[in-house]
Amino acid sequence: MADDKKKLTDVQDKLLKEAARAREKAYAPYSKFLVGAAVLMDSGKIYTGCNVENASYGLTCCAERTAIFKAVSEGEKKIKAIAIVLDAPDYGAPCGACRQVIYEFGPKAEVIMGTVTGRYEIRPITDLIPLAFGPDNL
């Protein structure tokens, strides 16, 4: 059931499905909180990622950054949209570090936050990181 009452586009639906599949590969033995992400780049290509925890907690990498860094490592630099899927009663927004990375490569990106049960919310990244710091601030 969609919270925003709008039907998903085919692309949004595909991103959520890809993020849900990526979530199944998460390595989260400590928190047991599995997250998947799928990022759509300007080229039309989709990259996925999952969260990867570490016994030294500060070295953990979120699903969003994993997907984005995969895209960047393949030469992609412009995010159109990103979907994040988790198993929780409510959808979750990206952490602050992920918001900053999303903004760096997609200041106009659409963020689709979803759950494995089908709930979702869609927001522009600028709603999630108002007054963002980016390359234009340097």
Catalytic positions: 64
List, edge to edge, every strand of the sheet that includes 120-124.
46-50, 35-41, 79-86, 110-115, 120-124
Distance (Å) of CA 63 to CA 4, 106, 121 = 24, 16, 18
Written as one string, the DSSP assignment of 103-120 is: HHH-TT-EEEEEETTS-E
